[in-house]
Structure 1
Amino acid sequence: MGNSVLNIGISGINAAQAGLVTTGHNISNASTAGYSRQQIVQSTNQPVFSGAGYFGQGTNVQTIKRSYNSYLEQQVLTANSRYQEMNTYYEQVKQIDDLFGDPSAGLSPAIQDFFKGVQSVAANATSIPSRQSMLSQSEALVARFQTLNTRIDELRDLVGGEINGTVTEINSLAGQIGELNQRIIYASNIGAGQPPNDLLDERAQLVSQLNDQVRVTTMSNEDGSINVFVGNGQPLVVRSDVATLTAQPSRADLSRIVVAIQLPTGGGQELPDAAFSGGKLSGLLNFRSESLDSVQNGLGRLALGITQTFNAQHRLGQDLDGALGGDYFQPLAGRTIYPNSPSNTGTAQIDVPITNASDLTTSDYSLTYTAANTFQLVRRSDSQVWTASGATPAAALAAVLAAAPSQGFSMTLSGAPAVGDSFTIQPTRAAADQFAVAIKDPRLIAAAAPIRTLATNANTGSASITQGVVSDVTNLAPPPALTLPLTFTYNAGNLSGFPAGFPITVTQPNGTSTSYPAGGPIPYSDGAKIAFGGVSFTISGTPKNGDSFTMERNPGGVSDSRNAVLLGQLQQVKTLIGNSASYEAAYAQLVGEIGSRTREVQVTSESQKVVAERAKDAQQALVGVNLDEEAANLVRYQQAYQAAGKVMQVASTLFNEILAIGRG
């Protein structure tokens, strides 16, 4: 009996000692990141049967249990991954918001100052200083465009560098997880299946750090290892086998850094941005695709719009030397086309001329030759797809462009495409960088109109003629198809004197239009606009028979600022975004979109931070070390140790008494 009691005491001391060691371990690691509280799991030893019943044989420590809940762990991973994504997005997009929203650094002041220069010329068309001031303000506007675009390019490079750094961190963490998997398998085997708790905590901490970089999912294996997956289920870690992520130029756009995965088996593939749904990496990719690209495209669209519309009006004017106006701003190509290299096997090349800046969007496009004589065009901003076929590849390209609502550009094909060939089209991306003033000589500013009209001094009626308006200089350019001067004579209710070869359109004040054969005559209508050959005028009042009116060239045009006035009016005319916005309104819309996106991401980031903190608190309530509780455990196990020792002391005394009786 004494021996049995002694063994029971020993088992109690061993259990109490295990409890003290475990409690001390908890206290020592109370501040260790990722540590989960541990506790001993005791059970009774197998009892011994006697005639009086079963006698207990003390206790044993079955295992050291790690406080862990997979559900709470998953909540923390999900919340942290989402927070890291949105916080990274916010940190990046805020830089654009600060830049474009700055009242002094943005485009609005530069646009306003530019049109002040235009208005100065309109007020004094002969003043060379006014003209020079207009050119200076134009150069300042160009510099502001290029400054903003350069900053966007810098951000794009920084994002590419961040993506590369994040991928490096992911690979490092994945490698450490693979090594820990191997150590955990080994420790579990030599420990007869007992869990290596500290190694499990270390691995869980690495998974948490990895999850902050890229959203991961895990799957446990029977041997204690885990498999880690990223993206749409691509395996990153399988037991001790580790795949490698790489940051590399996209095959569809060599200027763009994308993420690819190289598997341990040797295979690999480029992953789309949408494959990642959380963590810092996803935040960087989403910022670039949702905000950075659209902002730079929007800035390019504005540069294209100003260039196209301002040049169009400037070409309708006449400079100080009597020549028709040329392009005020350098004509922009704007578009960038990337063949999918090296996947394309055909010889096809695509050109994308800009046709109407008002119809341009801020989206990029993908063009794919999907089958024989079949093209597919995808607008990436909303994934709108248009597919069309034709008798030839060129006809198919024309058909797919016709199937899509006007996008502001056309497409031409050279060479022969192969099925599967694809192209990335960026219609506006490069325009802000290309934006430039074409005129250097202030005399070349076309402030005057190339024609003028007047009523003959001998007229006896009360009719008057407006200053002529030019809508197309094609027939005025050398050699002129429209020979001036022209004299229009009123007689018996009709106007005559119109040139042959130019049909006449008469538009009444109520908007009703009537077409007349070239050469006229036409019925006189008070206040109607008369247009032919790209010029127009209005005669109002009551003419008398024989009254005449003259249209002639305006070779001097020294004090004429009619075209400069029209150029100045472009500040308020809605010429962009489907003819719904002026220059400043288009920029304000761009700034508004950036601001709205920034605020949306900020609010989401802040709310997600609260969600992540609450998920962490819930997890720590289970796995965290409570020092007060551990102090109480120290006392409890100390008392258990002392009590078990007392049991051993009693057993020893009893055994000595029995020996003494035997000797007596």
Structure 2
Amino acid sequence: MSLLSIGKSGLFAAQAALSTTGHNITNANVAGYSRQGVVQSTSTAMGGTNGYIGTGTQIAQVKRYSDDFLNAQVRTAQSATSGLEAYQAQVSQVDNLLADTTSGLSPALQDFFSAVQNLTGDSAGVPSRAAMLSSAETLASRFQSMNGRLEEIRKGVNTQISSSVDSINSYASQIASLNDQIGKLSSSDSLNLPNDLLDQRDQLIMDLNKQVKATVVAGDNNSLTVSIGSGQPLVVGSQSFQLAATGSPTDQTRVTVGYVTNNKVTPIADNALTGGELGGALEFRTKSLDTAQNAMGRIAIGLAQTLNDQHHLGLDANGNPGGDFFSVAPADVTKNVNNNITSTTAITATVSDATQLTTSDYKVDFDGANYNVTRLSDNKKTVISPFPQTTPQTIDGLDFAVSGKADAGDNFLVRPTINGAANFKVALTDQSQIAAATPIATSVPLTNTGTAKISAGTVDKNYLAAPLTSAVNVSYDGGTKSLSGFPAGQSVSVTTTGGVTTAYAAGTAVPFSDGASYTVGGMSFTLSGVPGNGDTYTIAPNSGTGDTRNAGLIGQLQSKKILDNGSASYQSAYARLVSDVGNKTREVQANADAGAAQLAQAQTAANNVSGVNLDEEAANLLKYQQAYQAAGKVMQIADTLFDTLLSIGH
């Protein structure tokens, strides 16, 4: 080959290197761009027995500097960090809502029970009744407003899920299109590839991991196969698959993610989609939002039911038995939209014991032989037995009543507490309906000769079955040292100061014991002292005015351990909720900070390979400029030699 051709090949190589360097410099700030470099190789030499003479150079490859292993680490870190940041942004809203010392639930609870105590000290006067009813309305409004804010957050999560699904579908289509273009433009030896398209594809996959964790595997013809969740393919070669944001089969207001195949949407379990904004939103909703709303609902239902139970045991200002003070929200029961249309199953779940309630939701399904109730928090399964039912079956304080027929696989979602705060309302319409008084009153006639006294007396729920209609006089017989005159036909239970309880059948003599407590027909009182022969002790219906004993018992509920199987009061249960959410918020924040640091480290390691160093590229410009000039000089010398040869011929 002539010297001119050798110089020409060097000139072209230097020109390509200059162009590539300029391309690096101008794209240094483009997201996802990887540094490129020209790889040269020598052309085939010519010669024989006297040696081989080089014929110049050629461009073997325009190499893209990118490390697949480091890129995978960046994608993993990006997915985790985006998920934690999405979770943190949402859970901090819940944390701020619950922990607010002004607009949170704690001050409203405290104000309500303070009003109850004021009513007790004011002998249930009209002003204190009005104040108690007003504070009850405030408490109900606080429950409702806080639940409304949680519902707004829930709607925001639905919107974020839908937005993420749209973004994922867009990225999948673009990645599939680039797979197709790269396959068509790639050489058979996989050395000469469309580097800029590879960068665009890698950046799209990185953006995809900001939405959801994606697994990437190399495919045929330089394509990449992308899958998500539990292995659902999102991109295979030039074909992309779509996700759909759809209502949950058991709750159409709850947006979930489905996988679209043959125009059919198959739901993907929330816990299968991890990482990214989508995974973070789904995890937040399941682990924090649902739990917080259920926990608040449980407090509302527990407060309403237990306070109602005590209120029923009192008399209002008009002498009427106390009614419901607060409304108790019913359990929310929804059927799966995919249940067989022939199913006639009807399910109700009624709160019978608020102290046993959990914060979990439940699934009721029919397996072809039995109905099963599964507590979703720990998947504990309970079989409805017997079936058909004669009475509802109680599970975790809920009375499950199931009737009708179903096909195997039919299922229902039961959410006992989700609407507890939303439906917490004051049931009373007038302040005079506050049942502050106890329905019985005791007295000791002045004619008694002994020193024995009778306590004020209390009632329990058994009293409601047969309320006292007239006075009862319990008499003491000094000869037998026993009591008589209890309500006819009712047994008497005696508990001594030593804690020993003995039951006596109706009509039998009941021994007197100093300081003992006597219970009959749901009424309890204590006799202490030394009675005289023939002394009587009167238990009579109360008028309901000037008496605040029942209000005092209502006030005692504030500190009574009622919820969580008797381990938490209303206030401590709420404090535990605030603590749990606060701890989760701090945990997610710490993990997000650590994730951001790991992401920065992974990006630095990847950029050390693929990033453009402008100082280095500036030096390369000078180097390739000199190479260009040198190759030009070779061509100039070749031209001079050629002219010399021509002049010799003349």
TM-score (norm 1): 0.94
Matched, 1:343 2:339: yes
Residue aligning to 1:251 = 249
User: Within 2, Cα distance between the matches of 1:393 and 1:55?
Assistant: 99
Q: Does 1:292 align with 2:307?
A: no
Deviation at 1:473, TM superposition (A): 5.5
In structure 1, what residue type is equivalent to 2:579?
A: G
Match in the other structure for 2:224: 226
1:330 is matched with which residue? 327
In the alignment, structure 1 residue 419 sits paired with structure 2 residue 408 = yes
CA distance 1:387–1:538, change in 2 (3 Å): closer
Q: Does 1:565 align with 2:552?
A: yes
Q: Does 2:466 align with 1:470?
A: no
Deviations 1:257-293 (A, max 9, x none): 1011213x44431111011011000111111111111
Partner secondary structure for residue 36 of structure 1: coil
Looking at structure 2, the residues matched to 112 and 390 of structure 1 have their Cα atoms a distance apart, in angstroms, of 43
* Deviation string, structure 1 residues 93-135 (Cα, Å, up to 9, x no partner): 1111111111001011111111121112111234111101110
**Is the CA contact 1:375–1:388 (under 8 Å) kept in the aligned structure 2?**
yes
Find the partner of 2:371 among 366, 375, 387.
375
SS of the aligned residue for 1:61 comes to strand
Deviations 1:293-312 (A, max 9, x none): 11111111011011111111
Match of 1:386 among 365, 372, 381: 381
Q: 2:396 aligns with which of 407, 416, 420?
A: 407
Q: Tell me whether 1:618 sits opposite 2:605 in the alignment.
A: yes
Contact 1:485 1:553 in 2 (8 A): no
CA distance in 2, matches of 1:126, 1:23: 89
Residue number in structure 1 paired with 2:580: 593
Question: How far 1:611 moved relative to its partner?
Answer: 0.7
| Alpha-carbon distance in 2 for matches of 1:653, 1:136 | 108
1:432 aligns with 2:432: no
CA separation in 2, counterparts of 1:510 and 1:64?
A: 96
Secondary structure of residue in 2 paired with 1:431: coil
What SS is found at the alignment partner of 2:282? Answer: helix
Q: Give the 3-state SS of the residue equivalent to 1:184 in structure 2.
A: helix
Give per-residue Cα distances to partners, 1:471-529, cap 9 Å, x unaligned: 1254565xx47753233324232112222322211112232211111233111111111
- The answer for the alignment partner of 2:178 in structure 1 is 180
Q: Residues 391 and 293 of structure 1: is their aligned pair in 2 closer, same or farther, counting only changes over 3 Å?
A: closer
* 1:573-600 C-alpha deviation (Å, 9 max, x unpaired): 1111211111111111111111111111
Q: Does residue 448 of the first structure (1) align with residue 441 of the second (2)?
A: no
The equivalent residue for 2:509 is 521
Asked whether the equivalents of residues 121 and 564 of structure 1 are also in contact (C-alpha less than 8 Å), the reply is yes
Aligned equivalents of 1:389, 1:572: Cα separation in 2: 36
Partner SS, residue 414 of structure 2: strand
What does residue range 51-450 of structure 1 map to in structure 2 within 5 Å?
51-188=49-186, 194-263=192-261, 265-333=262-330, 335-345=331-341, 346-372=343-369, 374-382=370-378, 384-388=379-383, 390=385, 392=387, 394=389, 406-450=395-439
User: In structure 1, what residue type is equivalent to 2:274?
Assistant: S
Q: Give the distance between the partners of 2:269 and 2:477, measured in 1 at CA.
A: 72
Identity score, percent: 44
Q: Secondary structure at the match of 2:347?
A: strand
* AA in 2 matched with 1:450: P
Conservation of the 8 A alpha-carbon contact between 1:376 and 1:385: no
Q: 1:274 to 1:261 in 2, by over 3 A?
A: same
Give 1:58 deviation, angstroms: 1.9
Counterparts of 1:331 and 1:644 in 2: how far apart (Å)?
91
Mapped to 2, the partners of 1:560 and 1:252 lie a distance apart of 50
Q: Do 1:472 and 1:535's aligned partners in 2 also have CA atoms closer than 8 Å?
A: no
For the 8 Å contact 1:315–1:473, the answer to whether it is kept is no
Residue 636 (structure 2) aligns with: 649
For residues 571 and 149 of structure 1, the distance between their equivalents in structure 2, rounded to whole angstroms, comes to: 22
Distance change in 2, residues 1:42/1:468 (3 Å): same
Measure, in 1, the Cα distance between the counterparts of 2:583 and 2:572.
Answer: 16
Measured after TM superposition, the shift of residue 626 of structure 1 is 0.1
Structure 1 residue 623, shift from structure 2 partner:
0.4
| 1:455-534 aligned within 5 A | 455-472=444-461, 474-475=463-464, 480=467, 484-492=471-479, 493-534=481-522
Residue 642 of structure 1 aligns with an amino acid whose one-letter code is Q
**Deviation string for 1:637-664 (max 9, x for gaps)?**
1111122222222333333334444x26
3-state SS in 2 of match to 1:578: helix
Deviations 1:187-208 (A, max 9, x none): 2269986200001111111111
Report the AA paired with residue 11 of structure 2.
I
**Residues 1:475 and 1:9: Cα distance change in structure 2 (over 3 Å):** closer
Aligned residue identity for 2:380: V
Q: Structure 2: any 5+ residue segments left out of the alignment? A: none
Tell me if the contact between 1:504 and 1:515 (Cα under 8 Å) persists in the aligned partners.
yes
Question: Which amino acid is 2:473 matched to?
Answer: L
**Matching residue's letter, 2:457:** G
- 1:543 shift after superposition: 1.7
C-alpha distance in structure 1 between counterparts of 2:646 and 2:358, whole Å: 103
2:623 paired with 1:636: yes
Q: Measure the CA separation in 2 of the matches of 1:336 and 1:157.
A: 19
Structure 1 position 24, deviation (Å): 0.5
Aligned-residue Cα RMSD (Å) equals 1.9
Give me the whole-angstrom Cα distance separating, in 1, the residues matched to 2:149 and 2:368.
41
Q: Paired residue for 2:561, among 539, 563, 574?
A: 574
8 Å CA contact retained: 1:475, 1:481: no
State the aligned residue count: 648
1:16 corresponds to = 14
Unaligned runs of 5+ in 1: none
Check conservation: 1:475, 1:482, Cα contact below 8 A.
no
Following superposition, the deviation at residue 11 of structure 1 comes to: 1.6
AA in 2 matched with 1:542: V
Aligned equivalent of 2:596, options 593, 605, 609: 609
- The separation in 2 between residues aligned to 1:634 and 1:202, in whole angstroms, is 25
The alpha-carbon deviation at position 387 of structure 1 amounts to 4.7
Distance 1:307 1:278 in 2: 40
Does the 8 Å contact 1:20/1:637 carry over to 2? yes
Whole-Å separation in 1 of the counterparts to 2:121 and 2:384? 55
1:540 counterpart = 2:528: yes
Give distance in 2, aligned partners of 1:434 and 1:359: 20
Decide whether the 8 Å contact of 1:298 with 1:428 is kept in 2.
yes
Q: Which amino acid aligns with 1:365?
A: Y
1:49 to 47, 50, 53: 47
3-state SS, counterpart of residue 161 of structure 2: helix
Structure 2 residue identity aligned to 1:528: A
Q: Report SS of the residue matched to 1:577.
A: helix
SS at match of 1:537: strand
Distance 2:591 2:567 in 1: 31
SS in 2 for 1:217: strand
SS at match of 1:410: strand
What is the rounded CA distance, in whole Å, between the counterparts of 2:284 and 2:312 in structure 1? 40
Preserved CA contact (<8 Å) 2:468 2:540 = no
